[in-house]
Amino acid sequence: MPKLETLPASATPEEILTVLKRDGALILKDVLTPDKIAQVKKETMPYIEATPEGQDDFTGHHTTRTGALVARSEACREMVANKTITDAAQAFLKPFCERIQLHLTQVIRIKPGQPKQQIHRDRWAWGTYITNVEPQFNTIWAITDFTKENGATQVCPGSLDWPDNYEPSDNEIGYAEMPAGSVLVYSGSVFHGGGANISNGDRIGINITYTLGWLRQEENQYLSCPPEIAKTLSPELQALIGYSMGSYALGYYSPPLAPGEGPEMVPPEYALGNTDLEAARFGTAELLEEVSASVRGEKA
């Protein structure tokens, strides 16, 4: 049975990417302190307990999935903005985009009696239309210990180049066993799936993923965290969840006001009260030149 490599919480983005590009997944150990885990549970358990179980085999009939974590939990906001994770995500995804964005926040609670989930790739959220580009940088934060018995995530190290229709054998599947506070880091292309819970307790993990700024998010952050909540966040987190231009001309809008009462074609920051349109303009002069050069078939 293959084993995932484990790195310390102090690992650099370069160290993380070296393993990620080779194996497609790794574990960062002890990223959250016990006090921070307790805060996460305190802030999220009311929502988790109120979440119904899945309605199909893939989401899990004995599994709950709870979202909108940026709006609901201060501790989860810190996790989303964790510098080690976001620096690695930037380094991993930036070759394919101008800006990365938050793709998904979800507490996944695998309850006793839940069978194994189907092995899959998270990048299939967009079907199999995207090729030769890695669209996702993913994490699962262990809020409880992850063991093979309670549903530790199944992972197939080295499966990045496998055909989409490949069916892995048991000896190609490893398990992300790790203590609470650790983080499974994996790419959108690695084969994986939730494990079976044959224990007597819940396995709780928090799935936080990042994607290219020009792709549709799986969790619609604008609805999960609307402007009245997003305006209370830091500018960095606002930009990460999508209140920023995805590229030079991706994401602008026109406020639907009466004639003459509002501007046309403003960036998302305008919805948060940033009316300094020069400061929140579509892109830098350098980015505009890159776009223009691309249209001309040149390199800026």
Query: Is this model's pTM higher than 0.95 or not?
Result: no
How many separate domains does the chain show? 2
Q: Is residue 227 part of a domain?
A: no
If asked whether residues 210 and 268 sit together in one domain, one would say: no
Q: Token pair for residue 261? A: 């009462």
CA dihedral 110, 115, 118, 123 (to 10 degrees): 0
> Are 167 and 291 within one domain?
no
Same domain, 36 and 184: yes
Host domain of residue 73 = 6-221
Q: Which of 221, 256, 272 is the last residue of a domain?
A: 221
Within a domain: residue 1? no
For residue 250, how far is the Cα from the chain centroid?
20
Q: Is residue 284 part of a domain?
A: yes
Look up residue 128 and give its two tokens.
């199999």
**Domain with 155 in it: what CATH number?**
2.60.120.620
3-state helix, strand, coil in the chain (%, to 5): 30, 20, 50
228 is a domain residue = no
The sign one gets for the Cα dihedral 74, 193, 239, 242 is: negative
Same structural domain, 115 and 149: yes
| Domain boundary residue, one of 221, 237, 254 | 221
178: closest CA among 60, 7, 39? Answer: 7
Tens place of pLDDT for every residue, the chain, 300 residues? 899 999 999 999 999 999 999 999 999 999 999 999 999 999 999 999 999 999 999 999 999 999 999 999 999 999 999 999 999 999 999 999 989 999 999 999 999 999 999 999 999 999 999 888 999 999 999 999 999 999 999 999 999 999 999 999 999 999 999 999 999 999 999 999 999 999 999 999 999 999 999 999 999 999 999 999 999 999 999 999 999 988 878 888 888 989 888 888 888 998 998 876 554 555 445 545 555 555 555 544
Buried b (16+ CB within 10 A) or exposed e, 168-191: eeeebbbbbbbebbbbbbbbbbbb
Residues 157 and 95 in one domain: yes
